[in-house]
Chain A
Amino acid sequence: GAVVSQHPSWVICKSGTSVKIECRSLDFQATTMFWYRQFPKQSLMLMATSNEGSKATYEQGVEKDKFLINHASLTLSTLTVTSAHPEDSSFYICSAIKQETQYFGPGTRLLVL
């Protein structure tokens, strides 16, 4: 398989602050990474597609100004939740493609107080 890491694994922040989550492909280069969100007892929902060197593509209903995505290198994509509110509390998971198979990170649990 392939290894995808995320940092941090969990974060607690105050309402109104911004939080950055990193996603790294450890043993391969990924021109495309994906960001998902999962609320309790629900399935994963795709938020956006992150493309190295270009703008991310957001799914319908996902605010691009609130969820900033940067894919500055072939091994790193970041998701910044700006002005976080309690309703943004969720499990954020990234994935990257290696040899036409999507591999997922361990996820980042965000709690906004």
Chain B
Amino acid sequence: DAKTTQPPSMDCAEGRAANLPCNHSTISGNEYVYWYRQIHSQGPQYIIHGLKNNETNEMASLIITEDRKSSTLILPHATLRDTAVYYCIVGSGGSNYKLTFGKGTLLTVNP
């Protein structure tokens, strides 16, 4: 699996947009970009994933650069409950793929 690089920590004000970057310069053509988050002492929560196109769901938006070497997860209106470690992972998808977790980004949303 391709490796990803994320900043170790970020801060965001409540109500503002949180933009979390991720570099994945060695991503292969058939690999997806997945985003998960882990709130303290809980299992990871799936957020969103994409291949080439930008994606949006009820939780977040995913912006993938045209060369697919980096992406940004956007939480449009961060709340205190969004404080968590956010993981950007690349993988080939399918029924047998494995997720390799890095250290992620600790996002702290401040009141």
Which A residues fall within an 8 A CB radius of B?
1, 4, 6, 31-32, 34, 36, 43-46, 49, 91, 93, 95, 97, 100-107, 109
Contacts and interface: CB of A to CB of B under 8 A. Distances in A.
B95 A93 contact: no
Given A31-B95, A97-B95, A100-B93, A44 B45 contact: no
B98 A104 contact: no
Interface string B70-84: 000000000000000
A104 B44 contact: yes
Given A43-B104, A106-B43, A107-B42, A101 B95 contact: no
A109 to B, nearest CB: 8
Contact of A101 (B46, B98, B100, B104): B46
Contacts of A34: 98-99
Contacts of B36: 104
B16 interface: no
Contact of B96 (A32, A101, A105): A32
Nearest to A93: B43
Interface of B: 34, 36, 38, 41-46, 49, 87, 93-104
Interface residues of chain A: helix, strand, loop or mixed (majority): strand
Nearest to A97: B95
Interface SS majority for chain B: loop
A44 B44 contact: yes
Contacts of B38: 44
Contacts of A102: 34, 46, 97, 99
Contact of A44 (B46, B94, B95, B101): B101
B42 A106 contact: yes
Given A100-B93, A100-B94, A107-B41, A46 B46 contact: no
Closest 9 A/B residue pairs (Cβ): A104-B43, A44-B101, A43-B101, A107-B43, A104-B44, A100-B93, A106-B43, A93-B43, A105-B43
A91 to B, nearest CB: 8
B107 to A, nearest CB: 15
